[in-house]
Amino acid sequence: MKTIDEPLYAAEILLQTFEHILQENMQGIPILNNKLQVQTLGFQRFDGRIIGVIITPWLMNLIMLPNEKDDWSGLELGKKIPIKFPSTSYKFMVNEIDGIGKCKTHSLYSPMREFSSQEHAVKVARDFMNDLIVEREPTVEELVDEDLLGRIMRGEEIDVNLDEFAVIEPIKQPIKTQAPDIKETVVSGPVLTKTPQKLSQVMSRRDLIRGKFLRS
């Protein structure tokens, strides 16, 4: 597949692709926020690759596309890969989108129920992109090792010198907190999201971005 090598061209292709997904795959799906529309913004080059944000009525994702020297054909779909930005690191999922091919995506928000308008979603996306490549000191939450935190949550016995940590303040709930009727279960692979009373469907995050569902 031809490499998309210009940010503005990438933004236009992704806009058309997700408009098609919205019209062909997503109509009548309760997860949609009908106050929102498909929009791309902030597309630019970072470390030789194109990145940008795609806003849709069902998700907001940071997308990274391969450059002409990258061969992502062998990457396993659903595999999570950490990518370092000046601000912090984010875990990207290997995805494949019709008309685009292999790419890497990081979910910013899904579902999109908390957004009151397109302007609201655009502001959040623009603020995120403005901060993405700005160097900053890591927060206390980012300094805490994820494996250590998991052991604490499981109640395992650990040996930690708490004096090594700064004062830890309560973590504020982000906008993307799941709505009450959504239950998210982490499994060994993609995250499965179920909406028992509204959708008789099971979808992975890879299927969610492509608008593909398993209907009963």
pLDDT at res. 135 = 75
- pTM for this entry: 0.66
DSSP state of 109: E
Interatomic CA distance for residues 178 and 113, integer angstroms? 9
β-strand 49-55 against 60-65: which pairing, if any? antiparallel
Tell me the fold of 7-136: Yope Regulator; Chain: A, (3.30.1460)
Q: Where are the domains of the chain?
A: 7-136
pLDDT for 133 equals: 84
Q: Which two tokens stand for residue 30?
A: 């309760």
Query: Under 8 Å CB-to-CB from 104, ≥6 apart: which residues?
Result: 63, 64, 72, 81, 83, 92, 93, 94, 95
Asked if 125 and 60 touch (Cβ cutoff 8 Å), the reply is yes
Structure confidence at residue 100 (pLDDT):
87
Digitized pLDDT (tens) for each residue of the chain, 216 residues in all: 456 779 999 999 999 999 999 999 999 899 999 999 999 999 999 999 999 999 999 999 999 999 999 999 999 999 999 999 998 999 999 999 887 899 999 999 999 999 999 999 999 999 999 999 887 666 655 555 555 555 555 566 655 454 444 443 443 444 444 444 433 333 333 333 333 344 434 456 666 666 664 443
